[in-house]
A and B are shown apart, each in its own frame.
Chain A
Amino acid sequence: MAASESYPEDLRYHPEHDWARVEGEEATLGITWYAQHSLGELVHYEPPDVGAALVKDTPYGEVESVKAVSDLIAPLSGEVVAVNERVVDEPETVNADPYGEGWLVRVRMSDPSELDGLLDAAAYRKLLEDAE
């Protein structure tokens, strides 16, 4: 069961359709409604290991649907402090709740200034509209 289209105001967005929720020194990351909608029902999540280093704009894992595979692009650099095992076991959680239960990893940011390079909800919505 998929969620309805939304792009929460409190998140920062990456053009590769990933989002970041900043909480102090840490950020929770996931994929946007648009990403899960394009992929279709997710069947597999290949996460990074806890402790792995994420580098902004580079792939850190994979999600698969029945007909597509997509690299997860890191919106921020940092060290992985948690992986959402629920999504590993039930990848379709991302389709139902991409911004809540469907979070993918939590990182300790190594360079918070990278946030300035991310889009706010309005800018991300505009990016989607321009692409159509």
Chain B
Amino acid sequence: MLEVVGVSTVEELFRDIPEGVRLRRPLQLDPPLAEQEIVAHLEQLAARNVPVGSELSFLGAGVYDHYVPAVVDLVLGRGEFLTAYTPYQPEMSQGVLQAIFEYQTAICELTGMDVSNASGYDGTTVAADACYMAKHVTGRSRVVVSEATNPQVRQVVKTYARGFGLEVVEVPHADGTTDPEAVLAAAEDAAAVIFQQPNFFGCLEPAPELAAAAAEAGALPVAHVDPVSLGVLEAPGRYGCAIAIGEGQSAGNALSFGGPHFGFLAARMEHVRRMPGRIVGETVDTEGRRGFVLTLSTREQHIRREKATSNITTNQTLLALGGLVYLAWLGPQGLRELGERCMALAAYAQERLAAAGFELPFAGCTPFKEIVVRVGRPAAEVVRAARARGVHPGYQLGRDYPGFDDCLLVAVTEKRTRADVDRLAGLLAEVASP
């Protein structure tokens, strides 16, 4: 092979690497192991993970333990989807393109918007994308975000804001929700106002009023929504939002250590040329048969370069397809029932934990599938003690919000039962101090 490429030693292939950066010693690797020893070692490492099914988990905070039906993996496992690359050649990618088109359709139906893209990385980067869209639509350089929005979303928005030349203003929450008057005051000269529904605390925001406040200030209202809440909560497109975004994980994606999942972004048609990401369109071929293509490609980097609508021009087709299969499996009725079940259990959890003597800092708000409970001791200790008894009691809210070190964010999905909540209440009563 060396002879074929015209060198006599392998060293010659590296001749362009400067001397100053060469390692000049062997890599320090562990000695080789036999296959059996490697398997044993990896199994040992893997055993340090705790699968969510092996403890009773109330962990949420952005990634949720919803039931993923077998049909999702069945469809995703098909070679045609699993190994397909980006559908740049429509003549050989009609299956993938149709799947993405149907995904976009589902997202529009769910959010009440006119057009959706082919998905984004996750719920955080779509928020950054929405800010960039809003900057170009309004010509303004400020973005307002509610403090009750997922901390990772806010962090990613700030990271991108630097490069976008955007100022980010956070509006503090008031008793677990966001005050429309505070938003109106902060949104002067703002390009966008981002709020989350339900918010990071699990509370229902006064979303139509927040959208109205944003619009009054001339900013684009951007709702960051939970896809599985939209069977019971109003679609953002129907209460005045310009852009709807969110984390798709709850809809048919396994937890997977936090990813990969998918973000979704949908908007009013008037903003379509500012939308980031791929968009699949419906058309006819030369023989008049219905077909699908990637469209509006002039928004993207390979054509518009530094003026593109995003520097992320990829998507999460497989995970988004999981979302589509899940939504199709549930159907509108199933989605509604799922939402009602989550809300009923969250209300029950509120009641039960209050009855056990625990303070609920945001007792005044209506939860969707998560509540905040004050456990009276540092939450980290309570988590440790509870996990020793087979229960993960929830997320330590103090990680993201000062003054909440003794608080847990407790998530209840349709996979939890009233008996599970009773068990949690009993356990917390033992290990915490109400």
Contact = CB atoms under 8 A, between A and B. Distances in A.
Interface of A: 44, 46, 64-69
B303 interface: yes
Cβ-closest 7 pairs across A and B = A64-B298, A69-B298, A69-B304, A69-B303, A68-B303, A67-B303, A68-B298
Interface of B: 273, 297-298, 303-304, 307
A69 B307 CA distance: 10
A60 to B, nearest CB: 14
A46 B303 CA distance: 16
A85 B304 CA distance: 24
Main secondary structure of the interface of A (DSSP, over half): strand
Contacts of B298: 44, 64-69
Given A64-B298, A67-B298, A68-B303, 8 more contacts: A44-B273, A44-B298, A46-B273, A66-B297, A67-B297, A67-B303, A68-B298, A69-B303
Contacts of A67: 297-298, 303
Contacts of B273: 44, 46
5 contacts: A65-B298, A66-B298, A67-B297, A67-B298, A68-B303
A94 to B, nearest CB: 16
> Of residues B298, B304, B307, which shows the largest number of chain A Cβ atoms within 10 Å of its Cβ?
B298
Nearest to A65: B298
Contacts of B297: 66-67
B355 to A, nearest CB: 61
B276 to A, nearest CB: 15
A132 B303 CA distance: 23
A132 B273 CA distance: 33
A6 B303 CA distance: 28
Contacts of A46: 273
Contacts of A65: 298
A67 B297 CA distance: 7
Contacts of A68: 298, 303
A28 to B, nearest CB: 26
A68 B298 CA distance: 6
A6 to B, nearest CB: 27
A46 B298 CA distance: 13
A103 to B, nearest CB: 22
B296 to A, nearest CB: 9
A6 B307 CA distance: 32
A69 B273 CA distance: 12
A69 B309 CA distance: 13
B136 to A, nearest CB: 11
Nearest to B308: A69
Nearest to B304: A69
B224 to A, nearest CB: 29
A73 to B, nearest CB: 15
Contacts of B304: 69
Nearest to B273: A44
Nearest to A43: B298
A66 B298 CA distance: 7
B309 to A, nearest CB: 11
Contacts of B307: 69
A77 to B, nearest CB: 21
A48 to B, nearest CB: 13
Contacts of A64: 298
Contacts of B303: 67-69
* Of listed A46, A66, A69, residue having the most chain B CB within 10 A: A69
